[in-house]
């Protein structure tokens, strides 16, 4: 892989995207861009975007494309993204993926590489229910909705990126999974 790490970390809810993105930041020296974290900050601050997003997120649905696309567009323009980035939780729809491709092309960047964590539904349910962060979307009905939305709207994104997708087994210790991700990028852990 050349100088830039334009990475997309994908996987079902609770598959460990946020957890592993933070570890890749340490290893690769590039920023994490988590649309989930940015939206939760907006909710906490009581901004207009946050007010709009809260009800949608709490029930496990996706925030409208135009809102998250604009968030990512502004974030990618910041200077810390020059060497690359780890997108965590974006793109989640084919429309978001097409917009991201256009943004990268416009900025003269390489196409993104997709690292897709695979974890079975029972395991993600168990992880989310035991994480104890008190997130409003960490309950049985919101998890069922998030998994349904993932199958319907987000799995097609994997087909969109086709040969740029590297599937990574998301079961194992945190260190084991980080090592698999780093190896998929052609680096040693
Ligand atoms: P996110 O914040 O992206 O949340 P997530 O998919 O549920 O979690 P993630 O996969 O990051 O799991 P984590 O590392 O925490 O999205 C939340 C909501 O925001 C969405 O439902 C949507 O409403 C909105 N949203 C975000 N992006 C959007 C977009 N682009 N478009 C529209 N809407 C958007 O790990 C989960 C748990 O597992 C943790 O407790 C962790 O400690 C544990 N864990 C991790 N790795 C493990 C391992 N190897 N073994 C055991 N446990 C592990």
Q: What is the 3-state secondary structure (H, E, C) of 63-122?
A: CCHHHHHHHHHHHHCCHHHCCEEEEECCCCCHHHHHHHHHHHHHCCCCCCEEEEEECCHH
Look at residue 61 in the predicted model and tell me its pLDDT. Answer: 97
Q: What tens digit of pLDDT does each residue of 129-187 get?
A: 998 888 999 999 999 999 999 999 999 999 999 999 999 999 999 999 999 999 999 87
Residues classed as catalytic: 17, 92, 131, 135, 146
Look at residue 149 in the predicted model and tell me its pLDDT. Answer: 98
- Is residue 73 a contact partner of residue 37, using CB atoms and an 8 Å limit? no
Nearest-CA residue for ligand 1 atom 30 is 90
pTM > 0.85: yes
Both structure tokens of 169: 């087994």
Return all residues near 7 (Cβ < 8 A) that are at least 6 apart. Answer: 24, 30, 84, 85, 86, 87, 112, 113, 114, 115, 185
14 lines ligand 1 (CB under 6 A): yes
State the chain's mean pLDDT as an integer.
95
35 lines ligand 1 (CB under 6 A): yes
Nearest-CA residue for ligand 1 atom 38 is 127
What's the CA gap between 23 and 109, in Å, rounded? 23
6 lines ligand 1 (CB under 6 A): no
Q: What tens digit of pLDDT does each residue of 86-140 get?
A: 999 999 999 999 999 999 999 999 999 999 999 999 999 999 999 888 899 999 9
For residues 169, 175, 176, 181, the Cα torsion angle rounded to the nearest 10 degrees is 50
Look at residue 65 in the predicted model and tell me its pLDDT. Answer: 98
Distance 101 CA to ligand 1 centre (A): 23
Distance 16 CA to ligand 1 centre (A): 6
Distance 37 CA to ligand 1 centre (A): 9
Q: What tens digit of pLDDT does each residue of 33-87 get?
A: 999 999 999 999 999 999 999 999 999 999 999 999 999 999 999 999 999 999 9
Q: How many helices (H) does the chain have, and how many strands (E)?
A: 9, 5
- Is residue 88 a contact partner of residue 18, using CB atoms and an 8 Å limit? yes
Eight-state DSSP code of residue 173: -
- Is residue 60 a contact partner of residue 146, using CB atoms and an 8 Å limit? yes
């Amino acid at each position: 892989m050349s100088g830039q790490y334009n990475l997309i970390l994908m996987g079902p809810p609770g598959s460990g995207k946020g957890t592993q993105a933070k570890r890749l930041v340490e290893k690769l020296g590039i920023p994490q861009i988590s649309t989930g974290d940015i939206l939760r900050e907006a909710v906490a601050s009581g901004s207009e975007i946050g007010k709009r997003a809260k009800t949608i997120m709490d029930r496990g649905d996706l925030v409208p494309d135009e809102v998250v696309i604009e968030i990512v567009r502004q974030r990618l323009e910041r200077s810390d993204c020059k060497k690359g980035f780890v997108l965590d939780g974006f793109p989640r729809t084919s429309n978001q993926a097409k917009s991201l491709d256009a943004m990268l092309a416009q900025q003269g960047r390489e196409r993104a590489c997709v690292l897709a964590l695979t974890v079975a539904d029972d395991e993600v349910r168990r992880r989310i229910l035991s994480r104890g962060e008190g997130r409003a979307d960490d309950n049985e009905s919101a998890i069922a909705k998030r998994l349904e939305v993932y199958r319907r709207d987000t799995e097609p994104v994997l087909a969109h990126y086709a040969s740029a997708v590297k599937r990574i087994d998301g079961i194992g210790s945190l260190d084991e999974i980080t090592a698999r991700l780093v190896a998929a990028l052609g680096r040693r852990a």
